[in-house]
Amino acid sequence: MAETLDENVLDIAQEWRKAGREVALATVVQTWGSAPRGVGSHLAIDGEGQFVGSVSGGCVEGAVVAEAIEVIESGEPRMLDFGVADETAWEVGLSCGGKIKVFVEKVG
């Protein structure tokens, strides 16, 4: 599948909302060291776990999707941290030596 541009992710999230789907948006807000995606990268997630875009890759995105579903259910935004100093870094697949912060919010 071809990479989706960040602008397209926002358009798709808007279309999902117009179609009545609940949506969360994850945005990379900070990086340090080696990070697969830069600040401003987006991942849109619907309430069923379907997603488009990218904030990191691999298992990090799986963790972000799981958190996003909880954000959709609760309506409470979250700041997620992934990095090699974090004991969960290896578990979620961020072994590239960097750190990222991802803000996840429900789109209303």
pLDDT per position as a tens digit, 25-62: 999 999 988 788 899 999 999 999 999 999 987 778 89
Token pair for 51: 């997603």
User: How would you list the strands of the sheet with 99-107, edge to edge?
Assistant: 51-53, 42-46, 23-32, 99-107, 78-83
| Residue 64 included in any domain | yes
Calculate the CA dihedral of residues 40, 41, 46, 49 and round it to 10 degrees.
-140
Q: At which residue do the structure tokens 């961020």 appear?
A: 94
- Write down the pTM of the prediction: 0.84
- Residue 62 domain flag: yes
Does 78 reside within a domain? Answer: yes
Residue 102 in any domain: the answer is: yes
Domain tally, the chain? 1
pLDDT digits (tens, 9 = 90+) for 6-21: 679 999 999 999 999 9
| Any domain includes 31 | yes
Assess if residue 1 is contained within a domain. no
> How sure is the predictor about 1, in pLDDT bands with cuts at 50, 70 and 90?
very low
50 domain-assigned: yes
More confident residue, 91 or 83: 83
Q: Is the pLDDT of residue 2 over 50?
A: no
**Quick check: is 80 in a domain?**
yes
72, two tokens: 């959709």
Q: How far is CA 80 from the centre of its chain?
A: 9
* Boundaries of domain holding 94: 6-107
**Residue 75 predicted with pLDDT over 60:** yes
